[in-house]
Structure 1
Amino acid sequence: MQGRKVALAGALATFLVLTAAWPASAQREQGWAVRESLTNPDVPLYNTAKQKLLDGGQVFTYTIARLDTEFYCEVAPHYDFIFFEMQHSKMSWAVVEAMIAACPGVGVPMVRLPDVLEGSIQKATDIGALGVIGPTINTAEQAMALADLARFPPEGRRSAGLSQAARVWRGTGQNYRQTINDNMLVVAQIETPIGVENAYHIARVSGIDVLWASNGDLGNFSGLSPTSPEWHAMFDKVKEGALRAGKFVGSTSAAYANTGPNGRPDAADWRFFYGGPSMDGFQPQRR
């Protein structure tokens, strides 16, 4: 009997070691924690980009970095989401507000914030963005501020104020205040080696939905070559941190979605991209 107990204990220990070593994606489907965070998981989201992620798809974007209302309304229906660039552009919040208001309920407007201050997150959500991207997230504390300020209580601490957001999305037939927390997509952009080191802790923050690895700035801040093993190790760590925490992972290079001889063997794991194809083959005429 004693020998059997020892054998069982040894087998259990081996199982636990092997289980811990399995990739997170092999244990539970990507985004399981995002799905579990939904208040009404059976109600389809009007944030169709987030819904597509939950359904196992990859999402791509088109970037808007200057005022062109007609062009925005033209391209918005054809891409998974529209990336309003507020970190590196000279656009004002009033400009982005006007574009979103020009074609309410069309597409999925998301904003890359200039910072993760309350004023910036409040403005982005008030004008009707369905997602916010926090740049250069290095710590769980920064991620917590981003996630909390993007959602209303009780899940977060977004302030209620007079804004156009509810008007923009009233065509969904759903109450904005009661449904926006589920529809909000919160993305933490990992751009430095510090952020890479803390990737799992950032991903574990409640309300963070996506870790987004920045191909450009990870090279900029690390000094590593994209061909080096150390470079690839950074992206592997971001991916494993996101998957282990039950969140989605993306890259600022749409090439990470490529399969085939010149693609990545883990292309299916990467879900959220900067650039890439439209949903329907639409080719915008750049202005």
Structure 2
Amino acid sequence: MLAVFHSRRKLKGKQSLGFSVDRSKEKKPMRTRYSLSFPAAKGVWAHFPAIGVTAILVALTWIVLGEAQLGKAQAQQQKAPARIFNTAKQKLREGKMLVGATVFSPDPNIYCATANTGYDYLWIEMQHSPLTFEDVAKMIWACRGASAMPFIRVPDATEGDIQKATDIGAVGIIVPTVDTVEKAQAAVKWSKYPPEGRRSQGNGQYGALWGSDYRQIANENMVVVVMIETPIGVENAEKIASVPGIDVIFAASTDLGNFSGHRQGEKEYEALVTRIHDVTLQHGIRLGGPQAWKGRPGFTFFQGPGETQLIEAGAKVNLSAPARPAVAPVEGDKPPGGH
């Protein structure tokens, strides 16, 4: 609120003309007071006729209003949402279903062919494959601009594994066998820059892939997926789901059976899945599982088949397609991998 005042009260031998701004209703209450002082002997009115005083007050009013508008503009700029380049993260925020194919091969052509078929992300498998970070860096770079976002299942929630994965351009980190709250915290800590995490800033191809403002927007774009795969992890599911920064909790269908000794459909196995399901959704986290579980309620993040299965399925479709007149493709018109 703006209050304009003039006073004949003497302040150290002077009279004053001025105004104040009352910000008592703002987050940081304060009153700012501005004034013009004149020698008391002549008085303010001797210096300025009434019309001049009015003009000064109007001018001062505009100054304060301008200051207020500038403050609002700065506040809005500070609250502006970060640029989201990770389309998978955006879909998660919108509550959409995500499906990703799994990649084991180091061949960039196979990677690109898979990345441009319509999947939301690619599950790059580094826990159960001989892939190296050098292999994966070349794959991601060769297919920059693909519609499927690169996610990496790292071997473990260590600084070295996650740092390398993020530096080469992964925008999703999948951490296996999360049994404890400490491991869940490590997944977030090494995936994100300060103040949300402890990721170090160093060299990498992430900037060339995602933009020069990457450091400022990386945390908003990173997807952290933790996998619960054992009865111990299920027992600690509540604590794991309470860790800030987790986007998806993934119920690992194969290892839940491997570590529990029960098979899908058995009540003991299904009780484990139900526990993960309930805790995850209660905490507002997205629930993941194999693509075969698309019919299960609450699951919206899925791991699809590997590239060899996709090649096999595609070959069967190709061989079973009905014969009809068509224009034969010209060799060399389209590079391998379709990019």
Correspondence 1:88-103 to 2 at 5 A: 88-103=128-143
Opposite residue 89 of structure 2, the aligned amino acid is K
* Number of equivalent positions: 233
Which has the higher Rg, Structure 1 or Structure 2? 2
Per-residue CA deviations over 1:111-154 (Å, capped at 9, x if unaligned) read 00111111000000000000000000001110001101000011
Opposite residue 66 of structure 1, the aligned amino acid is S
Percent identity, aligned pairs only, is 44
Please state how far the C-alpha of 1:74 moved relative to its aligned partner: 2.3
Q: d(CA) in 2 for partners of 1:285 and 1:237?
A: 39
Query: What corresponds to 1:248 in structure 2?
Result: 286
Tell me: CA distance 1:217–1:117, structure 2 relative to 1, closer, same or farther (3 Å): same
Query: What corresponds to 1:25 in structure 2?
Result: none
Q: d(CA) in 2 for partners of 1:168 and 1:74?
A: 19
Query: What corresponds to 1:219 in structure 2?
Result: 257
Please state how far the C-alpha of 1:242 moved relative to its aligned partner: 1.0
Query: What corresponds to 1:61 in structure 2?
Result: 100
Please state how far the C-alpha of 1:64 moved relative to its aligned partner: 1.1
Opposite residue 183 of structure 1, the aligned amino acid is N
Query: What corresponds to 1:48 in structure 2?
Result: 87
Query: What corresponds to 1:71 in structure 2?
Result: 110
Question: Does the alignment pair 1:129 with 2:170?
Answer: yes
Q: d(CA) in 1 for partners of 2:276 and 2:126?
A: 24
Opposite residue 105 of structure 1, the aligned amino acid is G
Per-residue CA deviations over 1:131-187 (Å, capped at 9, x if unaligned) read 0000000011100011010000111110000111111112xxx71111110110000
Correspondence 1:119-198 to 2 at 5 A: 119-170=160-211, 175-198=213-236
Please state how far the C-alpha of 1:202 moved relative to its aligned partner: 0.6
Please state how far the C-alpha of 1:72 moved relative to its aligned partner: 1.3
SS in 2 for 1:271: strand
Where structure 2 has 5 or more consecutive residues not aligned to the other structure, the ranges are 1-77, 306-310, 317-336
Q: d(CA) in 1 for partners of 2:304 and 2:256?
A: 18
Question: Does the alignment pair 1:85 with 2:122?
Answer: no
Contact 1:104 1:169 in 2 (8 A): no
User: TM-score, normalising length from structure 1?
Assistant: 0.76
Query: What corresponds to 1:274 in structure 2?
Result: 303
Q: d(CA) in 2 for partners of 1:284 and 1:83?
A: 19
Tell me: CA distance 1:187–1:40, structure 2 relative to 1, closer, same or farther (3 Å): farther
Per-residue CA deviations over 1:62-108 (Å, capped at 9, x if unaligned) read 11112111221222132110111000000111000001111223220
Opposite residue 104 of structure 2, the aligned amino acid is A
Greater shift, 242-251 or 87-96, is seen at 242-251
SS in 2 for 1:132: strand
Opposite residue 156 of structure 2, the aligned amino acid is D
Contact 2:224 2:248 in 1 (8 A): yes
Opposite residue 285 of structure 2, the aligned amino acid is K
User: TM-score, normalising length from structure 2?
Assistant: 0.65
Contact 1:40 1:182 in 2 (8 A): no
Please state how far the C-alpha of 1:45 moved relative to its aligned partner: 2.3
Q: d(CA) in 1 for partners of 2:109 and 2:80?
A: 35
Q: d(CA) in 1 for partners of 2:314 and 2:206?
A: 27
Kindly indicate which of the two structures has a greater share of residues assigned to strand: 2
Question: Does the alignment pair 1:207 with 2:236?
Answer: no
Please state how far the C-alpha of 1:212 moved relative to its aligned partner: 0.1
Query: Which of the numbers 235, 240, 244 marks the counterpart of 2:273?
Result: 235
SS in 2 for 1:226: coil
Q: d(CA) in 1 for partners of 2:217 and 2:226?
A: 22
Tell me: CA distance 1:190–1:208, structure 2 relative to 1, closer, same or farther (3 Å): same
Q: d(CA) in 2 for partners of 1:69 and 1:40?
A: 40
Please state how far the C-alpha of 1:243 moved relative to its aligned partner: 1.2
Structure of greater relative contact order (alpha carbons < 8 Å, 6+ residues apart): 1
Contact 1:203 1:210 in 2 (8 A): no
Where structure 1 has 5 or more consecutive residues not aligned to the other structure, the ranges are 1-38, 259-263, 277-281
SS in 2 for 1:149: helix
Q: d(CA) in 2 for partners of 1:216 and 1:227?
A: 13
Contact 2:82 2:220 in 1 (8 A): no
Greater shift, 236-245 or 213-222, is seen at 236-245
Contact 2:228 2:249 in 1 (8 A): yes
Tell me: CA distance 1:224–1:76, structure 2 relative to 1, closer, same or farther (3 Å): same
Greater shift, 143-152 or 73-82, is seen at 73-82
Opposite residue 49 of structure 1, the aligned amino acid is A
